[in-house]
């Protein structure tokens, strides 16, 4: 596997993780 593919997959994962955390925060505040 290319390092570039791994990096882009990792950043996709991190972006999704951050999105879910943010959504969780919003739900918790309501």
Q: What are the residue ranges spanned by the domains of the chain?
A: 1-30
Q: What is the pLDDT of residue 20?
A: 96
pLDDT confidence of residue 2 = 84
pLDDT in tens, 1-19: 688 999 999 999 999 999 9
Q: Look-up: residue for tokens 């993780």?
A: 17
Measure the CA dihedral 13/16/18/23, to 10°: -160
Q: What's the pLDDT at 21?
A: 96
Q: Taking the complete model, does pTM exceed 0.85, yes or no?
A: no
């Amino acid at each position: 596997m290319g390092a570039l593919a791994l990096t882009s997959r990792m950043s996709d994962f991190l972006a999704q993780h951050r999105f879910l955390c943010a959504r969780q925060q919003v739900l918790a505040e309501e």
